[in-house]
Structure 1
Amino acid sequence: MKVPEAIGARLVRGRRPRGATACGVTAPVRCDRRTKDLTKRLRPGDIAVIDHVDLDRVSAEALVERGAAAVVNAARGISGRYPNLGPRLLVEAGIPVVDQVGPDVFARVREGEVLRLEGGVLYRGDTPLARGVVQDSAAVDAAMAEARAGLSVQLEAFAANTMEYLRRERELLLDGVGVPEIATRIEGRHVLIVVRGYHYREDLAALRPYIREYRPVLMGVDGGADALLEAGYRPDIIVGDFDSVSDQALTCGAELVVHAYRDGRAPGLKRVRDLGHDAVVFPATGTSEDVAMMLADDSGAELIAAVGTHATLEEFLDKGRAGMASTFLTRLRVGGKLVDAKGVSRLYRNRISPWALLLLVAASLLTVVVAAYSSPAGVVYRTSIAARWDAFLYWFTGLLT
């Protein structure tokens, strides 16, 4: 797997991360058992201390984007259950990775203190605090090969989860029972659902002409609302449990739909009300992106375009959640309305660089000048221009004298 272009363009292979020396990495540490919470406060050059079994690609991309100098994982980055993509991305980005240091690391280190990571050991001065397994390309390749060998077991579990979800949510999936009414008009319009997932920046950039022409309803799923704001758009609807979306997005004027548990509990509703707003509650078992798709479909959307969502089997497994079976079934329910924007940026990528265009224009101008200079008509024009230039100089000199 290659480092995504949006990230790889900002990395130089072989360059040490900020804070790295020949003796390891010395930098402040930021600790959190939830990787997505850690990345919100991680600064460039920090050592990230996480507890993430089977580190997924989206989390790894966030660590790279935030400029982590090193990653220390209390758990196993690749447990062997399935070939997850996160550790490979970190290693290819040149970020030192140490796994399996144990959960005690969170009791031994203090947020913000400067520590040294060297040879798989985290030091405070000369005192070792935690020891783990260094993950390099060879170690990741071996772990991934082992994980692929057991992939059939995960496929069976995925199929079982799919049938269980279908049994529990058949009324919602088949008849739309339980989908709430919303104020935003969707009937007969296009809906663009944005999840802060794979290649969402590139796909959003490629969809600018589409957004400008069709004016679709912009629906952000949790952090996808912030992705829309970063791209210069204001979301019309925000859907999710609101644990990874900013207050700025929640207060931008969008209609809010809280994804609640099936029993009606909605932890995100309290946060919305604390901000002085109200929200529609949508109880469902699946993921927030499933809720967004079903909401758009049941509200009469003519077409649903998805950015950053999960589309392939590799991505379903990489997410590492049994609930991803619901996304598979939701896509079947939405059917022909759904257009996945993933890969649009690669399909429409301009292969002509600006420098090549500039060189072409310069060469064309030079050809015109040479042709005009050497032709009989060019001689006449040169004589006329020279006469006008002499007349201008005579007039200008007269003004000065």
Structure 2
Amino acid sequence: MSARIITAFSSRLTIDTGAIRANYRSLARHVAPAECGAVIKADAYGLGARVAAPALHAEGCRTFFVAQLREAFDVADTLGADAAIAILNGLDPGCEAACAEAGFLPVLNAPGQVERWRRLARAKGTALPAVLQVDSGMSRLGLDAAAAAALAADPAFPREVALRFVMTHLACADAPGHAANAGQLARFQAIRALFPEARASIANSGGAFLSPAYHCDLVRPGIALFGVQPSPDGPAMRPVVRLEARILQIREVEAGSGVGYGLDHVAPTRQRLATLGIGYADGWPRSLGGAGAAWHAGARLPIVGRVSMDSLTVDLSALAPDALSEGDFVALLGPCQSLADVARDAGTIPYEILTRLGSRSERTFVETVQ
């Protein structure tokens, strides 16, 4: 007897590749004449790199960034031979030969990574392409100024490493007026001058909306491509995702009834409640209990009680009694509630909301034209 495959879902995530493409076009125009790359790490922020990458390539993107070597292998066959894939975290020891064979660009972040890449180049008798990251003040990844200067003064370095570009990362790009931005730019400009033949990159999504001085030769947007506005300045990003959850049960509870784990919510009056088939195992934050909401027909449906692993409960008081039935879907992300709205209510950032959306939702890709 063959097993039946059940394909019913309690939540559904709709991803608009047309919006991703439109956001890339908008960003590319905004940062021109600098090149606009695309950060597609963490499976394109959870939305599916194997779909997002070719959509971006079709819009003219040719430089892609992932975080890990395995992410580069996961997406490489969806891109043309003219695309470059850079690995932001660099390489774990022993992975250098596989990276070189595949033609990926390691981002060399530490002296050990640099030395292992140079050692492979010497063994092959040819310069190997790479990216060099320098630390301009974030204290996370990258060579410090002294180590970068030592490399620039080493005559063997350009014979062993074909430097595609020098990069750094902004710590406060989402705060345009923060003094750290100007300080990092000044430090980066001083270091990049040591490598005059290499292109330069400093701007992430937030940096794309700073002054053109931050655009350099290559801008690396990530979250902005997927519908989040990283700064109040610059062009508006089109929303990319819509998330809906199915109503599992509707019930009436009397005043004084407790709801959910810990009975945190106590009904102040008779309430009509709906239990939705989504919870923190699906990536919907537990912190939204008593703070977040679902939406239907323009009405806000507050979450009452705690968010459970597989479900949460919302108050239907704002709707007519016959407006919804068991099996219907209500919206958690969409025109009435953005990623930024949910992140605010959850006390976090849109990046975390987007990348946590789990694999249990039915995923549908659409391509709207606007």
Name whichever structure is richer in helix by fraction. 1
Alignment TM-score, normalising by the size of structure 2: 0.27
Larger radius of gyration: 1
Q: Which has the higher contact order (CA 8 A, sep 6+)?
A: 2
Alignment TM-score, normalising by the size of structure 1: 0.25
